[in-house]
Structure 1
Amino acid sequence: MKKYASIFITFLICHIIVQDSSAQFKLSNIFGQKDRVRKNRLFEPSSSVSFGVGTSSYYGDLSPYNRFLQSTVNGMRWNLAFNFTRQISPSVGIRVGLTYARISGDDSYMENVKGYEAYFVRNLHFRNDIKQLSVVAQYDLVKTSRSFLRREGIIPYLFGGVAVFAHNPVAKTPIVAGTTSEWVSLQPLHTEGQGLPTYDSSPYSLVSVSFPIGLGVRYKLSRNWDLGFEMSYHYALTDYLDDAGGKYADPADLQSQANGPLSVSMANRSLEQYAANRGIDRRQGVLNYLASIGYPAGFDPIATQSPIIGFVDRTDSRGNPKYNDSYLLTSVKVIYHIPTKIKCPVIR
């Protein structure tokens, strides 16, 4: 009996070894990467869509980078986003997104801010609606085993990529008694002389590229639904999201070669009594700044419409060309995981 038992056990062990070897051979390729193939077969690629709403903030000539917190809050606006994500591995997904974001900036926030009083005197403001198409790679810091159905309850992630966007900066016309202040497009006004015969620069493009990088987290709500939050920083390849980036143009050139009085009034706004966007009276703030830099008491350039030194001609800076503009987006989003297999109803 023991003899037959030994033969049976030996036969069983050999059978298991042969079956295991056969399975490994079927999974292997000519390079012998059987483990890699087996591992890939365990993961099922999946897709998801999401819709999000959140905030947007701009950084540039009208919202300085070195006042990051104040710039983030002062010009905060909104954004809407739709994304499609294809999860191609346990950690990596490729995402295509559409975003509509509004950004803005306003020099009037710099009243009595030490070191930035000249911004207040400059008195520029803008609003810009960005329509963006992005492609980013998303890396999950917590892997998903096999399929999205086995995903963890909380998944933090990082992402980065490239985006192309269309934009059009606008600003309000000066507040004048008996007239209505209206939003007008700034690029066609050649506010810094761009594109005029006696100026070297061309009009800035209304289509540009940005490079988004960010982080986020997803929280599992149910089998197919997640709630997510993310934050992304977008560095743009343009310095003209705000229509400011170079020198002042000569008013005579704007009058004769651009859009006449409208170009003149929108290019140099230092002598306006009211900040057109917020409606505040600027007079006392301007007088305080001029007194601090040595102007005689009683000098009131707003009342007399006398040019202010530093805000006059083609040698004076209207913006800083050293840094391009950028924007920060946050988003709270609802995510739906598309089922990988759809069961058809039974026909009876």
Structure 2
Amino acid sequence: MNTVFAKSRKDSLRKGIMAGALLLLTLAASEVEAQRRFNNFVPYSSVAFGVGTSSYFGEMAPYSRHVVSIFKPMRWSMTGNYTRHFTPRFAARASFTWARIMGDDHLMNTGNYEGNFYYARNLHFRNDLKEFAAIGIFKLTPDSRSYDRRAQFGTYLFAGVAAVAHNPMARVPDIEGDQWVKLQPLGTEGQGNPEYAKPYSLVQLAIPVGVGVRYKINPRWDISAELGFRFTSTDYLDDASGNYADPNLLKNDLARAMANRSAEPTAARKNRDRTEGLQTFLRNQYNIESGDPFTTIQQTDFATPGTLRGSAARKDSYLLGMIHINYILGSPIKCPPLK
């Protein structure tokens, strides 16, 4: 019995060693092939221009309603970039992107959502983002030894870091005329006053991550499509994150008007009537029937100092969908020296 057991152990050990050796040989062969391809690869560069869409997630476009948040407030974006392809699988990109995002309580809370807290809050914004990004690209479909021999179709992943300049704006109430004003200088949540936060920065950090596909049109031209999510370091892309401030501490009448818009008879961005929706809110939340909901809501505790205006539980983010036209700058093919 012991002899059989010992033989079995030897056989198992032998098989294990053979399997380990085979694995090492396979890895070594892969490494040799990768090194061979790397040594033969001719680095090249490309430039691109792209246009696409932008969507925002935050206080006025919640993550919990992701499909609606992507498509209802969707706006435009455009970009230009320079990419250096160092190896068959790795490239680095420097890019500038200009994207407009927007959010609107009235737009997002009609129909079955009409009459909820967000409908009553009645905030909106738009924000033109200027993004400067440094991005690493990992090609799931590796290049061949030169740009003109790259695969017809390719896929890739990307991630990086970006600085984003932003400045949220909103349309003033109709009594002030048709104009948009910058919200950060107004301190709509009391920023800059004692016991309140400092004014938020208009330059923020973002982490771009995403996926792309590429199609080779000819040796010099590609077309590509990307979907990229941006995680940001701020909750103020939409100017809403904390609580309502004491209106007596705000800078002026315009700041007070932009901080609390619950009593406005229309949704300012599109000038839509709010009477029925606000009546529904008062009925559901306060059990009040009112023929003049815009006066009545000011007599409730809604939007009083210290009550929620936004939520800091999750930072704002945005999603970009892009179509690029890429031009390959190329590099001369290196020929071995004659001996």
Q: What interval of TM-score do these two structures reach, taking the shorter chain for normalisation? A: 0.7 to 0.9
Contact 2:290 2:296 in 1 (8 A): no
- Indicate the residue corresponding to 1:190 in structure 2: 187
Deviation of 1:332 (Å)? 0.6
Give, as a single letter, the amino acid of the residue that structure 2 aligns with 1:300: D
Q: Normalization by structure 2: what TM-score? A: 0.85
The structural deviation recorded for 1:41 is 2.4
Identity percentage over the alignment? 42
- 5 Å-filtered alignment, 1:135-146, equals 135-146=134-145
- Structure 2: distance between partners of 1:39 and 1:311: 64
Q: Of 238, 257, 264, which aligns to 1:265?
A: 257
Aligned pairs for 1:1-348 within 5 A = 38-109=36-107, 110-114=109-113, 117-176=116-175, 179-197=176-194, 199-254=195-250, 258=251, 260-298=252-290, 300-303=292-295, 306-313=298-305, 315-341=306-332
After superposition, the C-alpha distances for 1:303-341 in whole angstroms (9 at most, x for unaligned) are: 46724423122x201000110000000111100000213
Distance change in 2, residues 1:340/1:201 (3 Å): same
Cα distance between partner residues in 1 of 2:162 and 2:313:
22
1:284 counterpart SS class: helix
Would the aligned equivalents of 1:112 and 1:285 in 2 still touch at CA under 8 Å?
A: no
Is contact 2:114-2:277 (8 Å) kept?
Answer: no
Structure whose alpha-carbon radius of gyration is higher? 1
CA distance in 2, matches of 1:37, 1:285: 66
Distance 2:316 2:111 in 1: 24
**Structure 2 unaligned spans of 5+:** 1-30, 334-339
CA separation in 2, counterparts of 1:100 and 1:317? 31
Supply the distance in 2 between the matched residues of 1:34 and 1:320 (Cα, whole angstroms). 54
Aligned CA distance change for structure 1 residues 340 and 250 (closer, same or farther; 3 Å): same
Alignment partners' CA distance in 2, 1:126 and 1:311: 18
**TM superposition shift of 1:289:** 1.4
SS state at 2:273 partner: coil
Amino acid at match of 2:183: L
Contact 1:47-1:84 at 8 Å conserved across structures? yes
- Tell me, in whole angstroms, the C-alpha distance in 2 between the residues paired with 1:301 and 1:116: 12
1:229-257 alpha-carbon deviations (Å, 9 max, x no partner):
00100010000000000000111111xxx
Partners in 1 of 2:270 and 2:140 — Cα distance? 44
Letter of the structure 2 residue corresponding to residue 168 of structure 1? N
User: What's the secondary structure of 2:267's corresponding residue?
Assistant: coil
What do you get for the CA RMSD once the two structures are aligned? 1.8
Distance change >3 Å, CA 139–CA 74, structure 1 → 2: same
Question: How far apart, CA to CA, are the structure 2 residues paired with 1:106 and 1:84?
Answer: 35
- For 2:228, the aligned partner's letter is S
Deviations 1:112-135 (A, max 9, x none): 434971101000000000001001
Q: How many residues in Structure 1 have an aligned counterpart in Structure 2?
A: 302
Are residues 319 and 116 of structure 1, via their aligned partners in 2, closer, same or farther at CA, if it must alter by over 3 Å?
farther
User: C-alpha displacement at 1:36, in angstroms?
Assistant: 7.1
SS in structure 2 of the partner of residue 156 of structure 1: strand
**CA distance in structure 2 between the aligned counterparts of 1:70 and 1:324, rounded to whole angstroms:** 19
Give the Cα–Cα distance (whole angstroms) in 2 for the partners of residues 96 and 167 of structure 1: 19
Task: Give the TM-score normalised by structure 1.
Answer: 0.83
Q: Is the 8 A contact 1:301 1:308 kept in 2?
A: no
Give me the whole-angstrom Cα distance separating, in 1, the residues matched to 2:32 and 2:304: 74
Contact 2:115 2:278 in 1 (8 A): no
